[in-house]
A and B are shown apart, each in its own frame.
Chain A
Amino acid sequence: MASTTITPTRMVLNQLKGRLKTARRGHKLLKDKRDELMRQFMDVVKQNKALRLRVEEGLTQAFASLQVASSIMSPEMLEQALLYPRQSVELGMDFKNIMSVNVPLYSFKTKNNDPAEIYPYGFAQTSGELDDALDQLSRVFEDMLELAQVEKTMQLLAEEIEKTRRRVNALEYVMIPELEGNIKYISMKLEENENATKVRLLKVKEMVLQDAHHYQQ
């Protein structure tokens, strides 16, 4: 795969050898990075799968309860009851570094710590089903937050793995073979030049000797 642009000199040969060494080292490092990322990724995927199932189940249940509540109460009443939330959530965000991938870490603070504070209405005019629904929802919410974190982590890791894998493959199947090919081409060319020089010298010697002594071989 010797490209036409390389000049077969010793200097270029040395340069290429240096580059090959770097490429080999980079390849090894990237391969290690990929393997470690993959290990982390598999953990995250497992976590994500479990969480998602839990969240989907919990939400479906919560929505079902909400449905029951809305069938008992009139829609206007329901809307009124939920109109002004008493609780508010503040989401804090931080970054964690996994193998040079920045993944988000969420932390949330509720303004009111009393769990009863999720009900933004008086109990007199609303049905108990609504309380149940909100209770379920608030429990699912913690899982939802974790799911968000895990899922984002998973997506970012997936992207990084893809990138790393591409680099590893590019080094392994393109860069390194090309460098090796070029090195081989140069060393063969140099050897050829050497042989040519040797032959030329022999020839010259013969001619010189013949000139001087009418020497016949």
Chain B
Amino acid sequence: MGFKALGLETFGVDNAQEGLAALKKLTRESDDYAIIYIEENLAGELEHEISRYKDSPTPAIILIPGRQGSLGLGQNALKAAVERAVGTNILGD
């Protein structure tokens, strides 16, 4: 995809199993990756694996919208964090 031209490393996957394998490879077998961007439609199926890294400083796993546009998962993560800290959703949406 286009990110490759920017100098990022890209890993194309076709389904959730491949995604999981790729993610595990990036997170467990090396410390070289500080930020991992995952498309939302894939991330929805890898939630369990992603949430393992929520509380560790590295790597940062960031959801980005895929080709279909935003699914709102990234914004959900924001809401979840607020809810966790404050105890209730104070953003009002």
Contacts and interface: CB of A to CB of B under 8 A. Distances in A.
Contacts of B67: 63, 67
Interface stretch (A7-15, A85-93, A189-197, A207-215): A85-93
Interface string A110-127: 110000001110000000
Interface in B1-38: 1-8, 34-35, 37
Contacts of B62: 144, 147-148, 151-152
Nearest to A57: B70
Give chain B's interface secondary structure class. mixed
Nearest to A41: B85
B47 interface: no
B4 A56 contact: no
Interface stretch (A19-27, A101-109, A175-183, A198-206): A101-109
Interface residues of B, number: 34
A159 interface: yes
B81 A45 contact: yes
Interface residues of chain A: helix, strand, loop or mixed (majority) = helix
A161 B60 CA distance: 19
Contacts of A88: 7
Chain A interface residue count: which class?
35 or more
B92 to A, nearest CB: 12
B57 A95 contact: yes
B4 A85 contact: yes
Contact of A120 (B5, B37, B65, B69): B5
Interface of A: 38, 41, 45, 48-49, 52, 55-56, 59-60, 62-63, 66-67, 82, 85-89, 91, 93, 95, 102-104, 106, 110-111, 118-120, 133-134, 137-138, 141, 144-145, 147-149, 151-152, 154-159, 161-162, 165
